[in-house]
Amino acid sequence: MKETIYEGKAKIVKIQENPEEVAIFFKDDATAFDGLKKATIPEKGYYNARITSLVFQYLADQGVPTHFIKDLDARTVLAKKLQIIPVEVVVRNIATGSLVKRIGLTEGKGLIPPVVEFYYKNDPLHDPLINEDHARVLQLATPEELSELRRRALEINDLLVSLFDKANLILVDFKLEFGRYGGQILLGDEISPDTCRLWDKATRQKLDKDRFRQDLGGVPEAYREVYARLCKALDEETKGVRQKGQWTAKIYITLKKGVLDPQGVTVRDALRNLGYQSVKETRVGKLIEIQLNSVSREEAEQQIRKMCQELLANPVIEQYEFTLS
């Protein structure tokens, strides 16, 4: 079994057979205010994984070096194992949240050029705001690395502002993490509504984790909307380049939570009889792979959902998730 090397608030990271690679699984758990507020939000992990996959592939296409390798399933991505630099980089395009509270800027004020902030990635200290001198004293990163983090963050901001604008979204602010790998600094972690503030361009409706923080409701719907808009924006960007027959769908069908899984029980007992006493629970599902002659991602997604609802999954006892590549 793959060893878990990290489990955080929203992700589980497991080392792979190649020790230079990790599998990152996105959970449905949500926390806010240093863990004081907690909940499980159905589909959150799925949409965070899908959005992260889309955004990281887009950034790689634009020449940004990242840890992302490929999707393993609908909620899990394969990535390079980084030595994480314990400095979170926050880029702010619009004043809101803690920035307004700290220095008294007007809520919603545009920040041109953007404000870049460094935070010490340290849970016991509640991730405090730091400057370059603090990072040097704490030996978190060299001055050259900090300069590189700032430059990379601003480059990524330019790319993402443009991408989200095409999706009729305002990128208000976002958090980035970087790590060392083979003498390089690579973008790591995730980019999703958990790590970005995203507002609707026309209404300024919040479509991110603030919906959970502020008890606004509709969190899965907001994340689903962001994903759908990004898919459409990227389809428009690649229109005329993508050819028919390029979509491969991998559909993962499992029993819903609470539904008895006799096959899972049988597999669990067999594993225990082989000496794997640490196995707590096993759920058995099925993987279906389909190739589609669809021009757009949106069209392909619509067809896959319809196939699942009409034939591939029993809506009473089964749930499905899928990836497109």
Tens digit of pLDDT for each residue in 51-79?
A: 999 999 999 999 999 999 999 999 999 99
- 109 located within any domain: yes
- 146 located within any domain: yes
Query: What pLDDT sits at residue 295?
Result: 60
Contact indicator for 81, 109 with CB cutoff of 8 Å: no
What's the first-to-final CA gap in the chain, in angstroms? 27
Verify that 93 and 156 share a domain, yes or no: yes
Query: Could you give phi then psi for residue 77, rounded to 5 degrees?
Result: -120, 150
CA distance 105 to 94: 10
Per DSSP bridges, beta strands 196-200 and 169-181 are antiparallel
Helix (H, G, I), strand (E, B) or coil at 103: helix
Verify that 75 and 18 share a domain, yes or no: yes
Verify that 89 and 208 share a domain, yes or no: yes
Count CB-CB contacts under 10 A for residue 79. Answer: 26
What is the domain count for the chain?
A: 3
Verify that 231 and 276 share a domain, yes or no: no
Verify that 95 and 214 share a domain, yes or no: yes
pLDDT tens, position by position, 248-265? 888 999 888 888 889 988
CA distance 306 to 251: 12
Query: Is pLDDT of 178 > 90?
Result: yes
- 242 located within any domain: no
Query: What pLDDT sits at residue 35?
Result: 80
Verify that 214 and 271 share a domain, yes or no: no
Contact indicator for 321, 256 with CB cutoff of 8 Å: no
Say whether pTM exceeds 0.85.
no
Angle (nearest 5°) at CA 8 between 59 and 283 = 95
Query: What pLDDT sits at residue 121?
Result: 95
Verify that 173 and 315 share a domain, yes or no: no
CA distance 91 to 83: 22
Mean pLDDT confidence for 154-160: 96
Query: Is pLDDT of 240 > 60?
Result: no
From 22, 54, 80, the end of a domain falls on 80
- The pLDDT confidence band at residue 204, using thresholds 50, 70 and 90, is very high
Residue tagged 């599902």 (tokens): 285
The amino acid sitting at 42 is P
Contact indicator for 202, 193 with CB cutoff of 8 Å: no
Verify that 142 and 50 share a domain, yes or no: no
pLDDT tens, position by position, 79-107? 999 999 999 999 999 999 999 999 999 99
CA distance 229 to 200: 11
Whether omega before 65 lies within 30 degrees of 0, making that bond cis, reads no
From 237, 255, 283, the end of a domain falls on 237
Query: Is pLDDT of 146 > 90?
Result: yes
**Of 245 and 320, the one with more pLDDT:** 320
The enclosing H or E element of 116 equals: strand 110-120
For 72, the token pair is 């393993």
For 51, the token pair is 């959005």
From 48, 80, 112, the end of a domain falls on 80
- The pLDDT confidence band at residue 44, using thresholds 50, 70 and 90, is very high
For residue 48, the enclosing domain spans 4-80
CATH number at residue 309: 3.30.1280.10
Verify that 233 and 92 share a domain, yes or no: yes
- 163 located within any domain: yes
What lies within 8 Å, CB to CB, of 273 at 6+ separation is: none
Query: Is pLDDT of 127 > 90?
Result: yes
Query: What pLDDT sits at residue 300?
Result: 83
Query: Could you give phi then psi for residue 86, rounded to 5 degrees?
Result: -75, 45
CATH number at residue 203: 3.30.470.20
What lies within 8 Å, CB to CB, of 278 at 6+ separation is: 1
Query: What pLDDT sits at residue 1?
Result: 53
